[in-house]
Amino acid sequence: MDKEYWNARWENQQTGWDIGYASTPIVTFFNTFPDKDAKILIPGCGNAYEAAHLLEAGFTNITLIDIAPRAIAQVKERFTGQQIEILLGDFFDLKGDFDLMLEQTFFCALEPSQRPDYVKQASRLLERKGGEIVGVLFDVTFEKEGPPFGGSAEAYEQLFEKEFTIRKLEPCYNSIGPRQGTELFIRMAYKNG
Ligand SMILES: C[S@@+](CC[C@H](N)C(=O)[O-])C[C@H]1O[C@@H](n2cnc3c(N)ncnc32)[C@H](O)[C@@H]1O
């Protein structure tokens, strides 16, 4: 799935993943996260509802990236005049150093063969600051061929454990209604050395 695939999904409004608001597990996490100046990356941001919530909550250092020009055009319009970095591009080419990377239906949108590269790229983006990936991953095997592509706690543990200390990988207690029982909440910290 490349840029053309994703942009066509946006152009044709085939955006079934879009819940229309910031997801509860992420909102709950940030309710008690103390550092409002943390440098936060939201890859595959789509409509970036989480970013709107974070700006309202006083977070000052948010970067969005999405590969689909249509998604980024919408987001740029929505956030006009606000203090936020909005990038059109491929997550895998991104350079920078972040404290936190938010995961909300981006990992599941990638081909499973790209998962090791996701882990490598996340560790590059988080290593300088000793940052963390925070958010939700699906804990389900989907009947249809993805995206979305599912997975399991065991598989994620194996995938991430070389580069990250797994601080949380547990059934999500506060998923939104339609996703209840299908998500894991994750908090994975870049492992130094
Ligand atoms: C399933 S959607 C999720 C959007 C948003 N996170 C949400 O939950 O509503 C996946 C998004 O990732 C974007 N995307 C896919 N591959 C990408 C890549 N390599 N780099 C950046 N964005 C990508 C797509 O354009 C799409 O907007």
pLDDT digits (tens, 9 = 90+) for 98-147: 999 999 999 999 999 999 999 999 999 999 999 999 999 999 988 888 89
- 65 CA from centroid of ligand 1 (Å): 8
Residues in the chain: 193
Cα(46)–Cα(25) distance, integer angstroms: 18
Q: Ligand 1 pocket test: pick from 5, 6, 13, 54 the residue with the most ligand atoms within 8 Å of its Cβ.
A: 6
Is the CB of 142 within 6 Å of ligand 1? Answer: no
Query: For residues 10 and 70, is the Cβ–Cβ distance under 8 A?
Result: yes
Query: For residues 55 and 84, is the Cβ–Cβ distance under 8 A?
Result: yes
CATH code given to domain 3-190: 3.40.50.150
Backbone Cα Rg of the chain: 16
What residue spans define the domains of the chain? Answer: 3-190
Is the CB of 63 within 6 Å of ligand 1? Answer: no
- 7 CA from centroid of ligand 1 (Å): 10
Encode pLDDT of 44-67 as tens digits: 999 999 999 999 999 999 999 999
